Structures are given as structure tokens and as C-alpha cells.
Structure 1
Amino acid sequence: ATANIFVLDNGLRILVGRDLGEPTKFRLLVRNALMVALAIMGGGALIIWFAIGQNALKRLDRMSAATKKIMAGDLSQRLPQGRSGDEFDRLSGSLNAMLGRIEKLNEGLRQVSDNIAHDLKTPLTRLRNKAADALDDKDENKRRAALEGIIAESDQLIRTFNALLMISRVEAGSIAAEMTDVDVSAIAEDSAELYEPVAEEEGLTLTTAIEPGLVVQGNRELIGQALTNLIDNAIKYAGGHDGPKRLSVHLAQSDEGIVLSVADTGPGVPAEKRGEVIKRFVRLDESRSKPGTGLGLSLVEAVMELHGGALRLSDTDPDNRTSPGLTVSMVFPASKP
């Protein structure tokens, strides 16, 4: 405490003092409170850092373990993904999508290699035998016929490899830069007009229902190739029964985009086998007698994936159990007036 004594004129003395204990106690109280707060904050920070750090390290360990399995060749593995939606989950989701794409491409490559080994072995063997027969045959006419057969077999092999090359280019996206505004209505009209005489020769009635002026962002060559593949397939298989033989090309705008469909009245494809017929070189037993390579629908699916669309297979007439037919639809998501 501190005090002063004042002497008045009348001889009285006044003592004026001040207690300094309260400010000191207040300063001590503030200092102690700050120290306690800093201690609590530091302890809390350490606890939070330890908990979050340990959780992050565990997640990184799980990701590292999954990565090691993937690097060992197991592409079916996926990085762990929680429900929090944080940076780790977003990164895992992106990497898992990439792994799924890589797995699909590798599976397709393996399947193509196996299918080439099985499906091309027969024509190559047949080609070799025809060449040997032509070499041994002394009859000029028979030799010429054998050579013509060899040329036909060679042309079919060339078409097969050209189709494989086209599918590979499409799946690799090497033609994605050639996307422009394409009048899909004009493509449908031209393709139907081109195949109408062929359909008539096969005893088919080809009808069209094409909405004019529909435009998509895409590659004109690929869309035209995909549509002609569908029409060619429909002509091959629409006449395999005794009932009405019809083929139709339908194009219209719907809520989901622009839908281009080719429908026939043939024997159709069972629902459980529709996922198989899209694969490369896969042909149903009923179609083995027909010419073809089994690559048509694979190319169409690759074209639709490149355009961000979808390929759908359904029955033309579900109530007809004998000849339900097949409707193949190409759905383009983007459309312009």
C-alpha cells in the first residue's frame, strides 16, 4: 500500500492512502488464466493432432496396402473410401474410377487376344489349306477357283483387322478431336436410303420415322459407320422366320436425349445374352451360319462411349415369343435444335 499525509492550516493532518493489492491480484489472476488457457489449448491441440494424424496415417497405410496389391497385378483391388467425403475420399474415388477403366481395358485386351487366337485360327488354317490345294492342283480352273477363294478369305481377314483397328482408335479417343456438329437426321435418311434396295432383295420392308433437323456433337464418319452396322445386322437376322419381315429406322428427341433406333422382326436376342453379344468376336450359335466377324456391336458400343451416350438392346415385340425381334438404340445425351 502507499499513503501520503497532508497538514492543513488548522493543524489537522489528513492521511490519504491507496491499497495496491487489488491490481496485483488482478494481474496474477489474468496471468494464471492465460497460462491455464494456453496449457489447455496446447494439450487439446496435441490430442487433436494425435487423433487426426493417427487416423490419416492409418488411412494412408490402407491405401498403401491396396496400392501394393494393385501393383502386384490385382486390378480388382480398390482404394478404401469412407463416407466423410473429405480430400482422401475424393482422391480415392478418382483413383478407383481410373482403376476401373484400366481394368476394363485390360480385360478387353485379354479377351480380344483370346478371341483372335480362337476365331482367326480357323480362317487362317482354311486359307493355308486352300493355298496348298491350289499348289498341288494341276487343273487351271480349279487352281483359279482356289485362288479366288483365298482372296475372299484374305479380304474377310482384312475387314476383321480393320474393324479391330477402328474399335481401338475409338476406345483410345484418338478421334475425339474431330467432333463437330453433325446432322444425325441426314445420316439416318442417307443410311436408310442406301440400304433400302438391299432390304428389298432380302424380302424385307424397310420403314423410317426420322425427326428432321436433329443435331449432335460427334464424328459423322463414326456415327454413320455405327448406324450402317446396325442396319446390316438387322437385314441379316430379320428374315429368319416365317412371319412378317420388317425393318425400321427410328430417330426422335426424348427426355434423355436423341434416340436413334434400328428395329427388326427377327428371332431377337435373349435378355441374358445381350451383354455377351456386345463383346468382341462373340456370336450366338444361331448366327454362326451368317457372314460376319462379331465386331459390329462392339464398334457401336465404342462409338457411343466416345460420344458420351449409351447402347441399349430390347425386344421389338415382347409379346411375340417366337420372333420378338431386336431393337438396338443409340442414345446421344447432347442435342441442339
Structure 2
Amino acid sequence: MSSAKLSDGWRSSSSRLLGLYSLLFVAWCSVLLGVLYWRVSHYLDDLAQSALLQRAHLFEHFTGDALCEALRENRRYDVHGIDAYGVFTAAGTPLAGPLKALPAQLPLDGQVHRVSGLPLSDPTAVGKRGFGLAMPTRDDRVLVLVRYSGPLNEVNHLILDALLWGVSLTLLPGLLGWQLLRRRPLRRIQAIEQATARIVAGDLGQRLPVADRRDELDMLAAIVNAMLDRIEQLMTEVKGVCDNIAHDLRTPLTRMRAQLYRLRQQLGEGDAQAVALDQVLDETDTLMARFRALLRISELEDHQRRSGFVELAPEALLQEIHAFYAPLAEEKGQWLRLEVAPELPSVVGDRGLLFEAIGNLLDNAIRFAPEGGRVQLSARAEAGATRIVVEDSGPGIAEAERELVFQRFHRSEASQGGGFGLGLSIVAAIAGLHGFRLGVGQSPLGGASFSLLCRPQVL
């Protein structure tokens, strides 16, 4: 993923683990809060019921006016006692207290029950809920005691608010810590991604960063680095063998060609042996050119060449290339057009190598375009980069071959010109050295279209 966009950090494994832990923590806190609130509520209810039972046991010793006086005094001075009471005759006629009628839902059993909608003389107390107790007195009257649950609910709400604030204040630093813990591994993964991108671009000397934490990422980076060391060693050995073969054969080939040339000079024109020697000389030149191209590609694949990169203006470079190849197009009667958009982004690279790459593409376009055909060299700005396009009106490249044209020694079946199948490989090597994107497609002119996306900074 691209620090996609990894960044989309919410998709990372660390973010998911931290998110899962946070959800479990919140769930556990919610369960704990619910149990605590339930226990506190039940405790307060039990406390209210116990208070009513204690007052009932106290008042059962009183009768007549003494009972009414005791009830008034208790309500006045005992804040934890009863909130309302009523004394009734056996027939239900009210004798004392704010209750004006016997509650219909309250049985006469001396036990505490939940009550609501009590018939009270105080209009502000109508509709209150709480606990009630009804019991017979010694003088055959009915005593009703009531304790409202409003104060208890207020205490419950205070406790609930305190618990919620406590959980919120606990979650806030937890979320901040989540963000910090989530970002640390993401930064390390981004560094690994950047190093991997340079390795993919061809710089096998790059290694994944390893910290001193000795965690899973360090262990994985160490394993990958060991693998890259081995791959680089094998690639160097293979490359060294190929380079040595090409280099060692170049000297004897040069000597052989010199001897053949001297032999050819000793023969006259029209001699059958002279014609055969000319053919051998041509094949020798072809062979030596291929070795030179292989050595050139090997040289371009050395990423130390980047040390000489400078910032270039693509307009001046393209004008120079156009002026250099214009006479070659004129010889074939071709129309070579240069089309450069204004204010192109600058390009970082080696001027000589870029001249070679674009010139190689333009030389191919001129070679494969028919006499009187059209060739176009253009450049335009695209997403902060410069896209250079070379097009022609030649036979083009079949879609099935477009992935193969940059391989060494590959030659298109439609190709009727010379070449060794290494020109585009050199262009690809130069593009890879610069971190540019090389592509091939179909041109509106009818032939092939090669594009080079030149980023302003090297990967």
C-alpha cells in the first residue's frame, strides 16, 4: 500500500488492535458502570425500605392522638424518616396526615411496596413515586407510611454522572495514547516503504531501516535485509560474469577485425574472397556493437551515476535534440515536428544520458516511419512532472509485443530495419536510473508512441 495510503492509518494492524482494545475497554467500563449503578440503586432502595420498617416498628407502640403527634414530630425532625403518612379508620376515613385516602394498590400487610399516584393534599407532591407501608394499629386504625424515591433517584443520578465523568476522563488520555501509539509504527512502515520503493526502482544497495527495539518489525527488516544481501551478491556475480565476457571478448574481436581488414586490403574489388571478407567484417562489426551496447547497459545500471544529476530545463534539451535529428528526417523526406508546452516543470537528471535516451527514441521513429511520413517530438506538463512523447506514422508495435520491446535483444517481427534489439533496453536502463516511467502505446499518427514521464525529483 502506498503510505495510502497506509495512512489511512485506520487500516493498519496496530490501529485495529488498539481500536479493538479500546472497544473492549469501553465495553468493560460500561458493564462495570452498569453493575455498580445497579448495586447502588438496590442498596438505596433497601435503605429506604429498611427505614420505613424501622419507623413502622416504632409507631406500632403508639395509639390515638399520641400516634398522630409522634408522626408529626418524626416528619419534622427525622429527615431520613417518612415523607408522608396517613391515619385512617377501619372504613378508610382519613384522620390525620397529608394522605387523603387509602392507596388502593397498597395491601394492609405491614410490608413495604412500591407506590405511585398517591392521593396527597400537597399539589406539588401529587404523582410522586416511592415506597409505602400499610399496617393496622392497636386501636384498630390503619397507619400508612410513605417515603418518596425522588431523593434516592437524585443520589443515583449524582453517582451515575460521577461514573460517566470518570470513564470519560479515563478514555480521553486513552484516545490520545492510541493516536501516539498508532503513529509510531506507521512512521516506521513509511520508512520501510520508501526504502522498498528505491529497491524496486533498481537500487539493490538499499536496505530496510532497523531500529534498536528488536520488535517484530526489526526482526522482519533484518530477515529481508539478509535476503537482499544475498540477492545483491548473486546479481553482482551474474552481472560481473556477463560484463567480463563482453569486456574480454572485445579485445580479441578488435584484433580479429583488424586482421580481417588487412586481409581485405590485400584483395582487389570484385574478388569472391573479398566479398566474403566484407560479409565477415559486417558480422564482426555487428557483434562488436552488441558487446558495446551490453557494456553500456551495464554502466547505466550502476546507480552511482546519479551523483552527477543536475536540474535541467526540458525545453532547451528537446530543441537541441530536434535540431540534431532534423537533417536525418529531411533525408527521408519526413515531417519532424517539435511541440513543447510552455512552463514545463524542471527535470533532475544527467543531460547526456537524457539526450541519448530521447535521441534513441527519435532515431527509431525516423527509421521506422516511411519516407514522407510524420514524426513528432512533444512535451507537456502532467501532475507536476514533464511527459515527453515521441510518435511516428510507421507500422507501430503490436499490443502483445509492447511488454517485450524493452527486453534485451528483442526485435519486433514487423521490424525491417537494422539494430540489435538493444536500443530500447538502453532507453529503459536510462529511465530506470532516473526513476522515470517509460511507456509504449499507439500513436494518433498511426505508428508507435513512446512516452517518458520525467518526475522533478529522483526516487
Question: What is the TM-score of this pair, normalised by structure 2?
Answer: 0.43
Query: Which residue of 1 is the match for residue 321 of structure 2?
Result: 191
Aligned residues between the structures: 233
Q: 1:302 to 1:85 in 2, by over 3 A?
A: farther
Give 1:327 deviation, angstroms: 0.8
Per the alignment, residue 237 of structure 1 pairs with: 368
Q: Which residue of 2 aligns with 1:180?
A: 310
Moved more, 291-300 or 86-95: 86-95
| Cα deviation 1:121-169 (Å, max 9, x = unaligned) | xxx9xx99x959x67x964553666666555544443332222111101
Task: Work out which structure has the larger RCO, using CA pairs closer than 8 Å and 6 or more positions apart in sequence.
Answer: 1
Shift of 1:271: 1.9
Quote the residue 1:62 is aligned against: none
CA RMSD for the aligned pairs? 3.9
The amino acid that maps onto 2:455 is: P
Structure 1 262/107 Cα, relative in aligned 2: closer, same or farther at 3 Å? Answer: farther
2:82 is aligned to: none
- The alpha carbon displacement at 1:184 in A equals 2.4
Q: How many angstroms does 1:255 deviate by? A: 0.4
Q: Following TM superposition, by how much is the alpha carbon of 1:203 offset from its aligned partner in structure 2, in angstroms?
A: 2.7
Partner residue in 1 for 2:300: 170
Contact 1:258 1:335 in 2 (8 A): no
Q: In the alignment, which residue of structure 2 is the partner of 1:9?
A: none
Alignment-mate amino acid for residue 191 of structure 1: I
Matched, 1:314 2:444: no
Residues 1:304 and 2:394 are matched in the alignment: no
Is the aligned partner of 1:253 residue 2:381?
Answer: yes
Aligned positions of 1:16-27 closer than 5 A: none
**Cα deviation, residue 194, structure 1:** 1.3
Relative distance call for 1:313 and 1:111 in structure 2 (3 A) is farther
Aligned to 1:66: none
The answer to whether the Cα contact below 8 Å between 1:230 and 1:328 also exists between their aligned partners in 2 is yes
Structure-to-structure mapping, 1:222-301, within 5 angstroms: 222-239=353-370, 245-255=373-383, 257-287=385-415, 289-301=416-428
Whole-Å Cα distance in 1 between the matches of residues 225 and 428 of structure 2?
24
Q: Please say if 1:206 is aligned against 2:336.
A: yes
Aligned to 1:80: none
CA drift of 1:276 comes to 1.1
**Distance apart, 1:326 and its partner CA:** 0.9
- 2:449 maps to amino acid: T
**Aligned-partner residue type, residue 316 of structure 2:** A
Aligned partner of 1:8 in structure 2 is none
Q: Supply the distance in 2 between the matched residues of 1:328 and 1:95 (Cα, whole angstroms).
A: 38
- List aligned pairs for 1:24-173, cutoff 5 A: 86-92=217-223, 131=260, 139-140=268-269, 142=271, 151-173=281-303
Distance of 1:275 and 1:110 partners within structure 2: 27
Structure number with greater Rg is 2
Work out the CA distance in 1 between the residues paired with 2:332 and 2:236: 38
Paired with 1:131 and 1:234, the residues of 2 have a C-alpha distance of 34
> 2:348 corresponds to which residue?
217
Q: Distance in 1 between matches of 2:384 and 2:236?
A: 27
Change (3 A) 1:221 1:86: same
Match of 1:333 in 2: 455
Paired with 1:298 and 1:211, the residues of 2 have a C-alpha distance of 28
Kindly provide the amino acid, as one letter, of the partner of residue 203 in structure 1.
G
Which consecutive unaligned segments of at least 5 residues does structure 1 have? 1-83, 318-322
Provide the C-alpha distance between the structure 2 equivalents of 1:187 and 1:330, rounded to a whole number of angstroms.
Answer: 14
Q: SS of 2:312's equivalent?
A: strand
In 1: Cα distance, 2:238 partner to 2:441 partner: 26
CA distance in structure 1 between the aligned counterparts of 2:294 and 2:323, rounded to whole angstroms = 27
Secondary structure at 2:322 match in 1: helix
Q: Structure 1 residues 271, 148: CA separation in 2 closer, same or farther (over 3 Å shift)?
A: same
The one-letter code of the counterpart of 2:219 is: F
Q: 2: distance between equivalents of 1:113 and 1:248? A: 40
Q: Residue by residue, what CA displacement relative to the aligned partner does 1:214-241 show, whole Å, maximum 9, x if unpaired?
A: 421111111000011001111111228x
**Does the 8 Å contact 2:243/2:295 carry over to 1?**
no
Gaps of 5+ in 2: 1-214
Matched residue type, 1:188: L
- Quote the residue 2:165 is aligned against: none
What is the rounded CA distance, in whole Å, between the counterparts of 2:244 and 2:366 in structure 1?
Answer: 29
The change in CA–CA distance for 1:265 and 1:158 in structure 2 (over 3 A counts) is same
Shift of 1:330: 1.1
Percent of counterpart pairs with the same letter? 28
Instruction: Render the CA deviation track for 1:238-286: whole Å, top value 9, x for unaligned.
Output: 228xxx7211001122106111110112111122211211011110222
**1:276 aligns to what SS in structure 2?**
coil
